[in-house]
Amino acid sequence: MHPIQQTPQRDGSTVENHPQPLQSISNPKFDLLRPLRQWLDSWEIKNPTLARRISRLIPAQCPFERDICLLGWQIAHIPPLCKLNPLYNELMSLRFRCLCFLADECGEDIRSYI
């Protein structure tokens, strides 16, 4: 821990200077994936065929989540791994926009995609 330093002022008083905290690793200044995130977020869905294809390609729930059972007893659980994907939120947003386009603009029943 750094010692607190005191800086003398012109009027004879002192002000304590606290050390600056270290930069947070979870909040980097440079985001390498920002252009890809912005591109995915700015994508306007106007083609029903493309919207259907995207809705089928991006799954509604994580396909990797599993319960491992042996003789009827659950012995392990594999958690959903999709949230480890750095583009997870943008892909879910794109899928949602595609489903909204199909339901609102095209009047399709989207229950088969859920």
58-83 per-position pLDDT tens digit: 998 888 888 999 988 999 998 888 88
Q: At what angle do helices 34-42 and 88-104 cross, to 10 degrees?
A: 10
Q: Taking the domains of the chain in order of start, what are their residue ranges?
A: 33-113
Q: Which of 46, 66, 62 is nearest to 54 (CA)?
A: 46
- pLDDT surpassing 90 at residue 19: no
Model pTM score: 0.67
As a whole number of angstroms, the distance between CA 74 and CA 62 comes to: 19
> Are 40 and 97 contacting, i.e. CB atoms less than 8 angstroms apart?
no
